[in-house]
Structure 1
């Protein structure tokens, strides 16, 4: 399949309109229609219904493959250009909100002290985006965090050949209101909390907890942002429980109505990993070594 035709198909499906896709891609509407027709002729299947414009069952199946395929193509292009590029002192670091903990921030400070000319732009984004930004060359390095068993790698989306290195691991705590019935305990088991009301967040996806401890963990409130202080304030106000790294509740800005009780079982940690593609000698490689040291 022609990747240009595939890109057009994905754009039409996402926008739900041939004219909107044409405006986004810089083609005429007639050209968009011809490209979709060419892709459908290649496969011998209708991929889009026209009124309304939406994927057919075959089109929905193709969309499942299209995203990863197009990402791998962009990643291949970025990897070749990155390998051929000379050393640069202006770097972009993509990171999930909780990835830049005290340990990582300290290592970043050491790297900047050792390289006075180093200019780092830190971009906050979701876990799904970190690998994609690095793979596509939009970021030189990435930092992703998540819940894992000790020494186990994170479950990150496949974005092609990528080096991942453990940066830090720390204790997880159950964040809950100070008045919660179990707030005074010295430790908690996850299987004792399957019927509690939980926050659904990027920081602590409940699907991951269900993988670890079985069904349950009802959603009390879903928060689609990535601000950790907002999550903590929601916990303090009684909107639901969540898991956080212990350091997230150790700052002076945490509301006094919030408690963090260590998680006794299962044995889990908050893990941070560094992601990068091929790095020629220079500032990016030096920063990667310092962050993962």
Structure 2
């Protein structure tokens, strides 16, 4: 059987014809494909990559010719991935990620450097991670942090395709699965909170029935501890009465202090308000267990920058009982997930 021939890009980003099949693994060609798949625009992809638009178009056409399938549907001025394109994308993600990991491993074998992409919710980023970030930056100043918030139901996908390197999550205690490694770092106590003059503060024990008529001020749908509360109520035949949703924990705290309702938040997020008497924990009859966790993909290569971050999290977060950290110099991106 003769060899299958394929196009590969040259140093200027233009495809070189009649290259052997094994050169399909050229990360430059696959990186172009990934960029077009992400932007769904040949023009924007060319701008990002610094190529002429014609070079990007030729690379995609060459890749389609080599694979024998159409990777994009051309819908007038719009494009969309075909089923074959989506299949190739998952492989392209892994190939490019491995190539980048190999480069980092060879080029930075001694001193951690490069980019570290982390997913973490607002509570953890504000009250658990600042001491870790501060100490890490002092030790390894050549590592760039990129911080996102990925919903829990997308972690498998994002960790699997390399979009994020590690997640520091806030969730119910988990065990390691066949895809993800989960390390429970520290239990997080959840408190039912009200203003000092709220009627429920006079109750010796707050029972679930007491909560049904109350107005709850809660984080957005999908928040792990909100999910726990709603499940607990549902199991007892109860439901929240028109809860108020907030995208900011600070806003929730201020509105509860103002007497607008009650809330459920981790103790680590309300230390100052408890010490100053602005919020009062209610003595309710239930306990909800959640924890701060490290999560990464089982097949993830633990490159030096990631290895040092994992080590610091394991060392420092279990000791950060008071949660006194603040993100003074770290800018977090806007997100719809703030729990």
TM-score normalized by the length of structure 2: 0.53
Q: Where does 1:170-209 land on structure 2 (aligned, <5 Å)?
A: 170-174=188-192, 186=205, 199=218, 201=220, 204=223, 208-209=227-228
Partner residue of 1:27?
51
Q: CA deviation at 1:174?
A: 4.4
Distance 2:49 2:69 in 1: 25
2:40 touches 2:79 (CA, 8 Å); kept in 1? yes
- Rounded to whole Å, the distance in 1 between the matches of 2:86 and 2:258 is 40
Q: Is 2:266 the counterpart of 1:245?
A: yes
Q: Deviations over 1:228-270 (max 9, x none)?
A: 4345446667899764311101214999776655776573213
**Deviations for 1:170-206, whole angstroms, at most 9, x for unmatched residues?**
112346677888676655659x769966645498269
Q: Which runs of 5+ in 2 are unaligned?
A: 1-23, 319-339
Match of 2:111 in 1: 88
Q: Secondary structure at the match of 1:20?
A: helix
Deviations 1:17-46 (A, max 9, x none): 322222122222222223333444535346
Which residue number in structure 2 is paired with residue 53 of structure 1? 78
Partner of 2:288: 267
Work out the CA distance in 1 between the residues paired with 2:163 and 2:39: 25
Q: Does the 8 Å contact 2:119/2:150 carry over to 1?
A: no
Partner residue of 1:118?
139
SS in 1 for 2:58: helix
Residues in 2 aligned to 1:63 and 1:194: alpha-carbon distance in whole angstroms: 48
In structure 2, do the counterparts of structure 1 residues 238 and 55 end up closer, same or farther at CA, with 3 Å as the change threshold? farther
Larger Rg: 2
Q: Distance in 1 between matches of 2:71 and 2:164?
A: 34
Q: Deviations over 1:147-167 (max 9, x none)?
A: 214xx2499xx9x8x765332
Match of 2:185 among 167, 176, 185: 167
CA RMSD of aligned residues (A): 5.6
Deviation larger for 17-26 or 87-96:
87-96
What secondary structure does 1:98 align onto?
helix
Residue aligned with 2:123, SS? coil
- Which residue is equivalent to 1:128? 150
